[in-house]
Amino acid sequence: MIFFVASVEMRSYLSAWHLWAAKHLAGRADEIEDRPEYLLANRAYVTGAVLSSVAFLEAAINEVFDDIADGHDSYVGPLSAETKKCLASLWTGDKSIERESILKKYREALQCSGKPAFDKELNLIKMRNC
């Protein structure tokens, strides 16, 4: 008797939740922006939107590295084999950049991909750190 085993693999991406939260919170802030009685609520929504935006950026780059390291090609499939090899080498091993700053991860990913670097000062992250 022959048995066949099917498997289903599913990944959950936290970046999508952070992005949705940022959009939702920014929308709520916009709705009450001109109402002085909601000043504290407005500030809370704006702060939450900024923090969720930065969380999205970090989760997104980590998910790219994770997908490459795990050989999960759903989003990173279009990248060249050379780019994937370069990114995988940064994420695994003794000198992993997993605990490095968000900006360093993006700079390294751009370099591995042969893309131009961006300004080292990303305003959203600077705003979060104020």
pLDDT in tens, 92-114: 888 899 999 998 999 999 999 99
Place of tokens 């504290």: 40
Mean pLDDT of the chain: 90
Judge contact between 70 and 64, C-beta under 8 A.
Answer: no
Using the predicted structure, report yes or no on whether residue 120 has a pLDDT greater than 70: no
The pLDDT assigned to 55 comes to 96
The pLDDT assigned to 3 comes to 80
Backbone angles phi, psi at 93, to 5 degrees: 95, -175
Give the 3-state secondary structure of residue 43.
helix
Separation CA 83–CA 102 (nearest Å): 19
What ranges do the domains of the chain cover?
14-129
Average pLDDT over residues 10-25: 94
The pLDDT assigned to 128 comes to 64
User: Is the pTM value of this prediction over 0.75?
Assistant: yes
The pLDDT assigned to 59 comes to 97
Tell me 118's DSSP state: -
Polymer length of the chain: 130
The pLDDT assigned to 125 comes to 63
Structure-block tokens of residue 86: 């370069």
The pLDDT assigned to 32 comes to 96
Q: What percent of the chain has pLDDT over 90?
A: 70
Separation CA 101–CA 17 (nearest Å): 21
Give the model confidence (pLDDT) of 65-86 as tens digits. 999 999 998 889 999 999 999 9
Query: Which range among 5-14, 26-35, 46-55, 116-125 shows the weakest confidence by mean pLDDT?
Result: 116-125
Burial of residue 56 (CB within 10 Å: 0-12, 13-18, 19+) is: buried
Judge contact between 50 and 127, C-beta under 8 A.
Answer: yes
